[in-house]
Structure 1
Amino acid sequence: MNFQKLKYAVVVADSGSFREAARRLFMAQSSLSTAIRELEEEYDIQIFERTKRGIFITEEGSEFLSYARDVLSQVSVMENRYLDANQKKLFSISSQHYDFVSEAFAILLATDEEHTHHYRLLETSTTHVMENVKNAYSEIGILYMNAYNQKVIKQYLNHNELQYTEMGTFQPHVFVGINHPLADRETVTQADLLAYPSVTFEQAQGSSAQLTEEALDLAEESTQATIYVSDRATSINVLVKTEAILVGTGILTSPFRDMMRTIPIVDAEANHMIYIQNKYRKLSAEAEHFIEILADQLTDVIDVAGDEPA
């Protein structure tokens, strides 16, 4: 397998044309075109359809490129791990949008006295959390799991040689601004929430409805608007300035807790907070340290579970 030609194919796909790809790769367009044709002949497929209007990725080419990206990601991990002993290693985490994960990440950075690593925290969709760990783009991923989504999540993990470890259980809460009509309530029911617009984090296109990030799906019963966002900063601004609600863990460990209220939803089932990892890869010292920090963050606010992987 020629990894360089795989890289060429991915760059062509990302560039949208051979001319632009050749410019990015600092090579002649004719040489690039020849390399792609050799790759297509080697695997007996057509990756790109060439027309007068430009190039188009074929259906089989789209599948091939997906595998190529996975392979190149793994090659990059190997090269970073073994070829450059002096290069700083990258510790990467992918997570759903959790305040306590961001806090734990900041503590991890503050306690790194040797400065031997680069760090990355990606707050993203449920699907991308799992894909990032599968592709070794992140070492660990942080998710929740419940009776509604566990079948889909477990199927994905098993199929892709990933495993999960439960960190604890939490009762779903509703997040509201301090001036919200529900802000003074000690508890709420799901029916209480139907009168208000709900904030939800945007998921990857085409992902299962069971992979929604919110611990409850109120959209079908509510007549109010659903507000889709992609980042926590926007969700916080919406909650603080409107009567919208957000269903989640109820865990706030940052200064944002002074801007919002979290109220337990008494008729909602408990959820499980988990982290996922590659089944056959030993966690790095940085990952283990981060998980310890995360456990400390969660000790006082969730029922902490054992550390047996599943």
Structure 2
Amino acid sequence: MDLRQLQYLVAVAEEGSVRRAARRLYMAQPPLSQALLRLERDLGVELFTRTSKGVILTDAGRELVGRAREILHQVEDARFAVQSTASDESTTLRIGAVAGPLSAGELTRPILDAFRALHPEVTVKLRDTSFADQVDLIASGVIDVALVRCPIVHDEVEVIPIAAEPRALFVRSTHELASEKVLSVDDVTGYPMLALDAPEWFSGFWQLDPERGHSLVDARLAPVSTVQGIQLALAASQTVVTGCATMARFAPSPLIRAIELPDASPSVIGVAYRRGETRSIVRSFLDAAAMAAAENIAVLPNATSSV
């Protein structure tokens, strides 16, 4: 078992299809299938159940995918940290963005442009983060600052809110709620939720746990930690989950429907950094992000400034 096989495994699990995974990995389908078969043979277990519509993880497969993600994240963190030591800290800023451009939606570009205009001499290293690792990467020093989606609860991380936008409910296109345009929180608290692979203080918010008073996730589905994972899991189940309204614009899918949820507490966009951070370059990014968000708040539909 090697890292490449683990990467293949995760890609197939997230795509639900060897063909789609091969396209995502920029490789032919036969060698990908052969690599997965070798992995199953080496481990002596079946990782997938093959169907005419794709592949479904077995219990053993779900267990290995979870561990594979952890290993791949650790390897990426190590690579990123080692490369960072070769850079001059005064001329490099490592910026995380949860779910890439979904981190701040239409405000992402103005924020980055504002900082680059102030510091053209600084090398900006961007890193896409998942729901699960967006905070730990800051606390561990792998990244210097991050555009995040609140709530964030961590003793070593501070967050400056810069904007808030509405949340939406996401369901599969054939779900009984899919034809609705607008719903209230009370309308959906009885539906099973898709579990997010993230700390409880984060996942519970999006799963509407506080409004319900308890969790109601479908335990038959593995928790997901990416937008693509959300789309795939929703398309294959009757679960629902809330998300930022930006997701409907930046990651549209014919398999998924977004329904307005106006009475849900908003999705707050923040800039996170390590507690006690004193470097001027980090403080400059915090100021630039707050300023850019306030000045460009109109580009984020139905948003309000938190500055």
Q: Classify the TM-score, shorter chain.
A: 0.5 to 0.7
Runs (5+) with no aligned partner, structure 2: 1-76
Q: Which runs of 5+ in 1 are unaligned?
A: 1-68
Task: State the Cα distance separating 1:290 from its structure 2 match.
Answer: 7.3
How far, CA to CA, are the matches of 2:286 and 2:300 in structure 1? 18
- Which deviations, in whole Å up to 9, do the C-alpha atoms of 1:92-134 show, x marking residues without a partner? 3142x476238669969x989x9984733232235x3222223
Match of 1:211 in 2: 202
Report what 2:306 is aligned to. 305
* Shift of residue 280, structure 1, vs aligned partner: 1.6
> Paired residue for 1:120?
126
Give yes or no for contact 1:197–1:225 (8 Å, CA) kept in 2. no
Match of 1:243 in 2: 238
Correspondence list, 1:1-310, <5 A: 77=84, 79-81=86-88, 89=92, 91-95=94-98, 97=99, 100-101=102-103, 117=123, 119-126=125-132, 128-145=133-150, 153=153, 156=154, 159-160=155-156, 162-203=157-198, 207=199, 209-212=200-203, 214-215=205-206, 216-217=208-209, 220=214, 222=216, 224-225=218-219, 227=221, 228-252=223-247, 253-256=249-252, 259-278=255-274, 279-283=277-281, 292=292, 299-306=300-307
Q: Distance in 2 between matches of 1:115 and 1:281?
A: 16
Per the TM alignment, residue 243 of structure 1 is displaced from its structure 2 partner at its CA by: 2.8
Amino acid of the structure 1 residue aligned with 2:126: R
Q: How many Å separate the matches in 2 of 1:177 and 1:198?
A: 12
Contact 1:141/1:277 (8 A) holds in 2:
yes
Instruction: Look up the equivalent residue of 1:211 and give its one-letter code.
Output: F
Alignment partners' CA distance in 2, 1:125 and 1:255: 16
TM-score normalised by structure 1 residue count: 0.52
Q: Is the 8 A contact 2:97 2:128 kept in 1?
A: yes
- The number of residue pairs the alignment matches comes to 215
**Contact 1:170 / 1:270 at 8 angstroms: preserved in 2?**
yes
Identity score, percent: 10
Could you tell me how far apart the structure 2 residues matched to 1:281 and 1:115 are? 16
Corresponding residue SS for 1:80: coil
CA RMSD of aligned residues (A): 4.4
Amino acid at match of 1:281: R
Q: Is the 1:251–1:301 Cα contact (8 Å) retained in structure 2?
A: no
Q: Deviations over 1:144-198 (max 9, x none)?
A: 33xxx56xx2xx3xx43x4322122233321123332212223223343245432
Corresponding residue of 2:61: none
Give me the TM-score of the superposition, normalised by structure 2.
0.52
- CA 125–300 in structure 1, closer or farther in 2 if over 3 Å, else same: closer
Contact 1:99 1:251 in 2 (8 A): no
CA distance in 2, matches of 1:104, 1:172: 15
**Alignment partners' CA distance in 1, 2:134 and 2:261:** 26
Q: Distance in 1 between matches of 2:102 and 2:89?
A: 33
Q: Please give the secondary structure, in 1, of the residue aligned with 2:194.
A: strand
Maintained 8 Å contact 1:164/1:275: yes
Q: What is the DSSP-based 3-state SS (H/G/I as helix, E as strand, rest coil) of the residue aligned with 1:276?
A: strand
* Aligned residue type for 1:137: V
SS in 1 for 2:232: helix
- Structure 2 distance, partners of 1:297, 1:138, is 29
For 1:40, the equivalent position in structure 2 comes to: none
Change (3 A) 1:229 1:261: same
Q: How far, CA to CA, are the matches of 1:222 and 1:213 in structure 2?
A: 10
